[in-house]
Amino acid sequence: MSVELPFAPVDDIIRENADGLRVSADAAEELARRIQSEGAKRAQTAAVRADQDHRKTLMATDFGGTDPPDRDTVALPIAPVDRIARLDIDDRYRVSMDARIVLAAQLEAFANRIAAAAALLARHAQRRTITADDIGQYFQLEHYFE
């Protein structure tokens, strides 16, 4: 599976949560992969909601959002988030701009939660670098972080 999301904004999100720790390139790649998977899953759920309302356009409300945040406040780029939303849904669906922004904000919050936990795991392992293993470990232990 190719990753639609550029690694640079994902790396920035990890660094914001790293509190001085270094970030390996593979950590950003792993988190981008996880973000993409989560975004595709959320879009599938949104498509089911749109189907129930007999619509072809995914709206912000289909993602659980009402008013999207200001586009400039979202760190994840909108175009790749749009491609992520379309990965596992039919071509007949459109994704409104508000829905893209809401999804980007949700995926950013998802990424922030994982990055903060990965930093905690790296510190617990007495390492100075967040790695892909820390990202993966989060998903094995995520019920402890909630």
Three-class SS state of 22: strand
Nearest to 76 by CA among 39, 25, 43: 39
Whether pLDDT at 66 is above 80: no
pLDDT tens-digit readout, 23-55: 999 999 999 999 999 999 999 999 999 999 999
User: Mean pLDDT across the stretch 98-127?
Assistant: 97
The answer, yes or no, to whether residue 3 has pLDDT greater than 90, is no
Q: Is the pLDDT of residue 146 over 80?
A: no
**Average pLDDT for residues 94-114, to the nearest whole number?**
97
- Say how far apart CA 115 and CA 72 lie, in whole Å: 21
What gap in Å lies between CA 26 and CA 118, rounded to an integer?
Answer: 13
What is the CATH T-level fold of the domain 7-145, as seen in this structure? Answer: Histone, subunit A (1.10.20)
In this predicted structure, the answer to whether residue 107 has a pLDDT above a threshold of 70 is yes
- The 3-class secondary structure across 107-128, one letter per residue, is HHHHHHHHHHHHHHHHHHCCCC
pLDDT value at position 31?
98
pLDDT for res 1:
63
3-class DSSP assignment, residue 72: helix
Q: Give how far the C-alpha of residue 26 lies from the chain's centroid of Cα atoms, to the nearest Å.
A: 16
For the chain, the structural domain boundaries read 7-145
Backbone angles phi, psi at 6, to 5 degrees: -65, 145
Q: Indicate if the alpha-carbon torsion angle 43, 44, 48, 50 is positive or negative.
A: positive
Please tell me the distance from the alpha carbon of residue 100 to that of residue 84, in angstroms, as a whole number: 10
pLDDT by residue (tens digit) across 7-21? 999 999 999 999 999
Contact between 43 and 95 (Cβ < 8 Å):
yes
Mean pLDDT of all residues in 88-113: 96
pLDDT at 64 over 70: yes
